[in-house]
Amino acid sequence: MRIIKIVMKIIPASLRTDLDEILKDISNLNKVCDLVSIDLCDGIFVPSQTWLPNEKDLNEKQKDKKIFSEMIKNQNLEFDLMVIDLPKYLNLVLEFGASRVVIHSNDAKVISACIDLIRKRREEHQDNFTEKNIVNFNFINFKLGLCSDQENILQEFASQVDYIQIMGIEKLGFQQQPFSENTLQKIQNIRKFYDGIIQIDGGMNLINIRKCLAAGANNFVVGSAIFGHDNPAENYKKIVQEI
């Protein structure tokens, strides 16, 4: 299969238990990169638990939505959903103006439901579009990513999503985990049937990014190598410059 040459992208990842910490991470990078990924973990799908959107607050006070509406004026946001109730949190982050969402699942019915949800939201977006609504406006270029450890699931839905994500670590929901070398074989296996964007999340530093890039991946989600040290903006720029 022909491989489409796609420009490599480094995506900083924020995994926090507190919303203020997430907002600080985003703010630290809004002048040096155009996309930040936010990990959402419910403590059920994965052992760790992060900050999660509050459905009651969204419906009644609109507080979180207003916060993110301001953030996305200067920064595109990807939400990485490591949660059991995917439709619930997919709906919530779309309300926040997500530019991209990664869903984690091995369940074909759940994945289909999420794809249908996006399709319906696109139709609503087209009917109610206004350039003054920044959340609606962000949906023009919305991308849906799929992460599954079942290759047959990836093959089944490859044509219905915008990119495939592979985890570069074994223990999901935690940063500073060792890189899993079998990630390289996974990339090569997926390239046999998929010529779109392959994104790697977990264990990403300069050395491992170079390995995954050589194996055929395009995008690299970087957490602790950027946010685990002082000056995240400089850490990000260094990685981009040295790849």
pLDDT digits (tens, 9 = 90+) for 88-123: 999 999 888 899 999 999 999 999 999 999 998 888
What does the pLDDT read at residue 3? 47
Q: How far is CA 186 from CA 177, 190, 214, 216, in A?
A: 18, 6, 13, 10
What does the pLDDT read at residue 57? 60
Q: Please, which pLDDT band fits residue 127 given cuts at 50, 70 and 90? A: low
| Strand ranges inside the chain, DSSP E | 9-14, 35-41, 76-82, 100-104, 143-147, 163-167, 197-201, 219-222
Confidence (pTM): 0.90
114: left (phi over 0), alpha (psi -120 to 50) or beta: alpha
What does the pLDDT read at residue 71? 77
Averaged pLDDT, 6-14: 87
Which CATH code fits 9-242?
3.20.20.70
pLDDT: which is higher, 240 or 136: 240
Residue 137 has pLDDT above 60, yes or no: no
